[in-house]
A and B are shown apart, each in its own frame.
Chain A
C-alpha cells in the first residue's frame, strides 16, 4: 500500500510533507537549512532576520527542566538582512523545497522595509515574527499583543512584497483569535501558531535565574496543549491557513496539531530531543498513523477535530 500522500499546501506553496523546521532552530546559514531538508523537513524557516546584525543575548541562552521541553532566550541573533539575503539565495540554489524567510523589526516602518528587502532573495514564504517573548526589555511588548498594531504590521508587510506572508502569533495574550482575525483582514496569507510561551527558570542551589535574559520562551511537549487550543481557536476564527507549532515530538503530536486545524506543522525543540533525523522519523510516524487509520492524504486530517457547523462561539 503505497498510496499515502504526505504532501500539503501552505498559502499556495506545495510542501512534500507537512513538517517545517521552525524559526530559531539551527537555521542561520544556508547549509543548516539544507541540512534540515536533507533530514526530511518539508520546508525550512530561517532565524528571525533583523535589519542590522545582532549577537543575541549572552549565554546561558537555553535551559530545560525536563518534560521534553526547554526554555530559551537566544535574543534573535542573526547576521543582519544583507548577509541573510545571501544565505537565502544560496539555500534556494541548493534545494527545490520551500525556504521561508522569517523577519523581525522594531518599528512598523522597518517591517515594511525588511519585507521589501528580503523579497530580493525570493523566499517561498515570508513569516513575520511579531511575537518574540525574549526581547521585551529592548522593544517593549511585542506587536502581537494588540490587534491594531498586529494589523498595521501585516498591512505594511503585505504592501511591500508579492510573496505570501505568514504572521507568527504569540500565545502570551488573552485572546489569540482576535489577533488572528485582525491580521487576516489586514491581508495576511496565513498565520503561524504559536511562538513560545513566556517563562522563567531559577537555579535554587545558587538562587540565580538560569538564563542571562532571566525570562525566556518555553517550547516542547509542555506547551503542546497551549498550541492545540490556539490552533483550534484560530481555525474557527479565520479562513487563512495555519502553520501549527508547539510541542511536536512525535507523529501523533503532529497529527494532533493537524486535526486542530494546522495545514503544516513546525518542529523545533524535538531537534534536540530526537536529533536532526526527527523530520524523517516523524514523517514515518505520521504515515504509520495514516495507514492504520485508513487516511490517504494530509488534507483529510487538517481540521478533523472540528464538527461541521459547530458555532465558533461554542469554544469560548
Chain B
C-alpha cells in the first residue's frame, strides 16, 4: 500500500546548462526512472514547490528545463550546483509510444518532454527517420533542443511566430503540411504527441481528429499536491485529476474533457477562460 512518491528526496544539483537566454536545465544525478510526460514536484526550501516536467532521464541522471519567469523560477535560476532541492516523483501518466511514423509537436517549454520522447522512441528501436520533431515558439530565443534533436538525426521542423527561425507562423501549419506530405508516401504519420500551450494543443487535437490520427497530449492544470488528493487539477466533467489520471491523455479521453481548450481553474478553483 505504501509508496514513496510523497517523500521529497533531497537531491544536489549536479550541474546547470544554459539552453537559451533565461532558460536553464538543472541536472540531478539520481535514478529517478521517469518516462516522457511524467513530472516531479520540485521544492526549493523556503521558496516554494512547483510541478516541473522531466526534460530528460537516462536512468542515471535526469533534468528539468526552466525559464526564469516568476519568483519561483527566478529563485531557481539563482541556485548553484551543489544546492539541495526536494524532488517528489516521477508523478503522473507518461506518453505511450504508438505508431510507426510519429510527429512530436512541442510548443515553448513543452520541448522538454517531446525531446525526451524522441530519445525514448529511438532507445525502443524506432528509426530516427520515422520521427518528426516539430518545435514552435514565439521567437528563435525560445526554441529549444534543436541541436539535441539533430544529434539524434530525427527530422527537425522549426517554426516561430515572428519568423526569426524556421517557418514563420504556427507549428500547426508545419504539422498540417507534414501530414499531407506523408500521405503521399508510404510513411504516413500515424501518431501525434504534443506538449505546449493549451490553445496550440487544442489546434493539434483538432487536426488529429480531422485526420483520424491517434494522438496523446499533456494537459497542464494548476497542481498543488501532485498526488491526487487536493483536487486542484480535476477537469470537467470527468473529474479526472491531471496529476494522476493525466497529465497525458489520449484522443478518446481528450474528447471527454469538455474544458480542454476552453477553461482551466486558478489556485482557488475559479474558472478562467483561455
Contacts and interface: CB of A to CB of B under 8 A. Distances in A.
Interface of A: 25-36, 38, 47, 53-56, 58-66, 68, 70, 72, 74, 77-80, 83, 94, 203, 205-206, 208, 210, 212, 249, 268-269, 271-276
A28 B6 CA distance: 22
Contacts of A54: 268
B237 A276 contact: no
Given A25-B231, A203-B10, A212-B48, 6 more contacts: A47-B231, A64-B6, A77-B230, A94-B237, A208-B45, A272-B227
A63 B230 contact: no
Interface string B34-78: 000000010101101110000000000000000000000000000
Q: How large is the interface on B (under 10, 10 to 19, 20 to 34, 35 or more residues)?
A: 35 or more
Given A55-B268, A273-B1, A31 B10 contact: no
A77 B232 CA distance: 9
Contacts of B46: 208
A83 B86 CA distance: 35
B232 A206 contact: no
A244 B48 CA distance: 34
A271 B228 contact: yes
15 contacts: A31-B237, A32-B239, A34-B237, A47-B231, A47-B269, A55-B267, A59-B50, A62-B230, A63-B8, A70-B6, A77-B269, A206-B10, A272-B228, A272-B229, A275-B244
Contact of B231 (A27, A55, A64): A27
A34 B239 contact: yes
B202 interface: no
Contact of A77 (B7, B84, B237, B268): B268
Contact of A78 (B43, B45, B236, B269): B269
Nearest to A62: B225
A88 B239 CA distance: 14
Nearest to A52: B268
B49 A60 contact: yes
B1 A203 contact: no
A80 B43 contact: no
Contacts of B131: none
The A contact surface, by secondary structure, is loop
A28 B234 contact: yes
A213 B244 CA distance: 25
Contacts of A47: 231, 269
A271 B49 CA distance: 22
Contact of B269 (A28, A210, A274, A276): A28
B237 A26 contact: no
B235 interface: yes
A59 B44 CA distance: 10
Nearest to B239: A35
B266 interface: yes
A81 B41 CA distance: 30
Interface in B10-51: 10, 41, 43, 45-46, 48-50
B216 to A, nearest CB: 21
A68 B230 contact: no
B147 interface: no
B111 to A, nearest CB: 24
A107 B2 CA distance: 40
A292 B35 CA distance: 44
B124 interface: no
B239 A29 contact: yes
Contact of B45 (A64, A72, A203, A268): A203
Given A31-B239, A55-B266, A205-B84, A25 B43 contact: no
A29 B2 contact: no
Contacts of A32: 231, 234, 239, 241
A11 to B, nearest CB: 25
A79 B232 CA distance: 11
Contacts of A38: 239
B227 A28 contact: no
Contacts of A53: 268-270
Contact of A56 (B49, B84, B224, B237): B224
A61 B230 contact: yes
- Interface pairs A-B: 10 shortest CB-CB: A35-B239, A26-B231, A64-B6, A31-B239, A55-B267, A28-B269, A208-B45, A59-B49, A79-B269, A32-B234
A219 B51 CA distance: 23
B84 A206 contact: yes
Interface string B202-230: 00000000000000000000001101111
A276 B1 contact: no
B270 A31 contact: no
A79 B86 CA distance: 29
Contact of A35 (B43, B50, B238): B238
B239 A60 contact: no
Contact of A273 (B2, B41, B237, B240): B2
B183 to A, nearest CB: 38
